[in-house]
Structure 1
Amino acid sequence: MRFASLGSGSKGNATLLETDSSCLLIDCGFTIKETERRMARLGRSPSDLSAILVTHEHSDHIKGVLPLARKYKLPVYSSFGTAEYDGMRAQECWRGLVLDSVQQIAGIAVTPVVVPHDAREPCQFIFEHRQRRFGLLTDLGSITPHIRAHYGNCDALLLECNHDVPMLRVGPYPPSLKRRVGGDWGHLNNEQAASLLESCEVPRLQHVVMAHLSEQNNTAELARAAVAPRLECSEALLSADQESGFDWLEIA
């Protein structure tokens, strides 16, 4: 199993996960043309996809989902609440997800995990294949005991490090947006992300990728300073960016 990112940030998000026999796209916040371009950079085309999974209905995660699904005739999986977006639930391509329940999608065991975020019925995902587990965890405002229980035994993590608290406090956002981003239903700050690792089997983690970094309220250096001390090997720590995401990472 391996994973890669087409891009990560407030301007668009999409993650690829593949095995020997399948390829999943998690979220698609880009146009069809841009998605095709970014997938080509990773040696893939939308025609290689088995399905699209959606975490929630915010535009930087969902705006390209239905156009891509229609063009390439792909099934789309989301929660029932997320599927209220743009009539998705009425589309022939849509498939419902039962949250916190393991489902088989293209030969991969997928668990959609409930998270606190200001969307209709948001979730994040755990993927398991051949006894290897990949956890995707972005777009949530707090680390709950429920999340700690689900993400404690992963072999790789894609983990939101959205903002640095002091930078957000003095940054350019209006007060209402600062409250939203920094609240329990907003986005994880660097220290919150780092705290998740206290519940993880850290020696098992082959990769930790810091994702969804704010271009206004964070830097990769600040995120790394918070997260790296919680890891046994800082070489396992990478960051995703908006333009280039990150290249394929193998989970051995």
Structure 2
Amino acid sequence: MDTSSLGGILLALAGILAGLLLEGGRIDQIMQPTAAMIVFGGTLGAVMLQYPLATVLAALRRLAQVFFQGKSAGQATLKQLVEFANKARRHGIVSLDQDLAKIKEPFLKQSIMLAVDGTEPAELRKIMELQLDNLTEREEKIPAVFESAGGFSPTIGIIGAVLGLIQVMQHLDHIDQVGRGIAVAFVATIYGVAAANLAFLPIAGKLRHRIREEHRVKEMVIEGVISILEGMNPRMIEVKLESFLGAGSKAKGRKAKESAEAATEEVPA
């Protein structure tokens, strides 16, 4: 669970609702199903018009990453690359062919496969960077879907408010109901602006951050495999690749390594 995402949305909602209640309002005043239908239905329709259905569905599938942060693959990938470097130094790069079936990450697997097949380091870098560029171009559309939704929803909220006002103007003969009708009409505007600034735009930012983390690990893979091909010392490779990981990841990795070494020392001879 990403406590930052969960805490952020709860804090924002609590602040807004507390302000409403302190001003003497009631929560039921902003609970308007028709306004929600206009804003969210209209926003979804506009987004589907702008992007292919496959892109919209891919963006929706990524929503879970906003609130649930998967275990970082950075340290595990670094450890795997160092193991491959040690094996390649002892038995040659071709010995890594036996490990291909165990590699689950497709990008790493393809990089090692190219290295085993005798691809030159410069050519391997060119191939894998091209793949990473194409992947980046595709995945950049995912946060862009939510950014577009954040742009559409306030305007569609205004459309909802205008529709509500049209209905109010048709009943001016009941002047006592006009004020209440206008208040209800503007709920759609609240939904549109709130959806954009409390949901769509922050979600786009968080997904962009997640995607960048994934791409950084892939950049580390390219640099690691090329370093193995060039015969660099495994310890030097480890130090070099640690620069791709954040300070928190480095600290966790060092702690895990120290724990493993301590456990090894405690084993009686």
Normalised by the size of structure 2, how large is the TM-score?
Answer: 0.21
Please identify which structure carries the higher helix content.
Answer: 2
The one of the two structures with greater contact order (alpha-carbon pairs below 8 A, sep at least 6) is: 2
Normalised by the size of structure 1, how large is the TM-score?
Answer: 0.22
Specify the structure having the higher radius of gyration (Cα): 2
Please identify which structure carries the higher strand content.
Answer: 1
